[in-house]
Amino acid sequence: MINKIHNGDCIALIKELKDESIDLTFTSPPYGANVEYDTWEDDIVGNKILIKGLAQNLFPKMKIDGRVALNIAPKVINTKERYPLFLELCNSFIAAGFMFMDIVVWDRGNNGSIAWGIWDSSQFPNTIGACELIVLFAKGQYNKLNKQGPTMSHKEFLEIIDNIWHISPEFNKNHPAVFPLKLALNAIKLWSYPGDIVLDPFCGTGTTCLAAERLDRKWIGFEISPNYCKIAVKTLEYECSQLRLF
């Protein structure tokens, strides 16, 4: 499975992984915000079930010092309700046996968004969604078992050790909800070692896998959409061919 994109349901594919084989999972599960994906109905009820299944099935596959970092919005708003999905995520992962470790705020910036609600009034304000969260969990312990020397430069460490990352969002005509490559690079650099195995069970067009490849990590990508899989495979094939040129 290593260094490959796999098309299929992520829960079924996670079950095929060897126990205690994954060092870091970095991903962004569907939020339940009615995003129009290829093959997934993005509703809150389905996503609650998905997150619970993800936590339960992922726990035995993570190494004893493994970490799971999940990018998610602080709140989900649709036509029927407002829901703090990140609380469901935290409760599900802690119930599965993970330990809460940290939170990073991804400052996306305003990017022209407006706060819908009652204008110029306290009657029904709706704050602008200018940030998202990266919630970090550990499996058996917070420290990595294999102690290594510096794995990045001092300058790189200082740039990412703050718990607010100022990174502009990216947009991709091939996928409705991509996150920036810089976000994945930061997470993988801060929470894993070179040579570690990084999993993305919702890999989309392959951003996490691309970041892992560039940072000398092994990677595994799961994606339910055949179309997104094809794009991810092309991206990684091009990246690997370019790396071999140097």
CATH number of 4-112+128-244: 3.40.50.150
Mean residue pLDDT of the chain comes to 85
Kindly state the tokens that stand for 232.
Answer: 């991810």
Using DSSP, state whether 113 is helix, strand or coil.
coil
What pLDDT sits at residue 174?
61
β-strand partners of 184: none
Of all residues in the chain, the percent with pLDDT exceeding 70 is 81
| CA nearest to 206, candidates 195, 189, 219 | 219
What burial letters (b/e) apply to 149-185, b meaning 16+ CB within 10 Å?
A: eeeeeeeeeeebeeeebebeeeeeeebebbbbebbbb
What confidence tier does 212 reach under pLDDT thresholds 50, 70, 90? very high
What confidence tier does 116 reach under pLDDT thresholds 50, 70, 90? low
Task: Tally the residues of the chain.
Answer: 246
What pLDDT sits at residue 39?
56
Q: In 120-222, where does DSSP find H-type helix?
A: 154-160, 181-191, 207-214
Q: Is the pTM of this model over 0.85?
A: yes
The answer to whether the beta carbons of residues 160 and 188 sit under 8 Å apart is: no
Enumerate the domain spans of the chain. Answer: 4-112+128-244
Of all residues in the chain, the percent with pLDDT exceeding 90 is 52
What pLDDT sits at residue 246?
36
- pLDDT at position 205 over 90: no
What confidence tier does 237 reach under pLDDT thresholds 50, 70, 90? confident
Q: What is the pLDDT of residues 122-178, one digit of tens each?
A: 777 777 777 889 999 999 999 998 888 888 999 999 999 999 999 988 766 565 567
| CA nearest to 204, candidates 49, 37, 31, 22 | 37
More confidently predicted of 234 and 76: 234
Alpha-carbon gap, residue 158 to 34, rounded angstroms = 37
CA 28 to chain centre: 3
Overall average pLDDT of the 96-118 stretch: 80
What confidence tier does 245 reach under pLDDT thresholds 50, 70, 90? very low
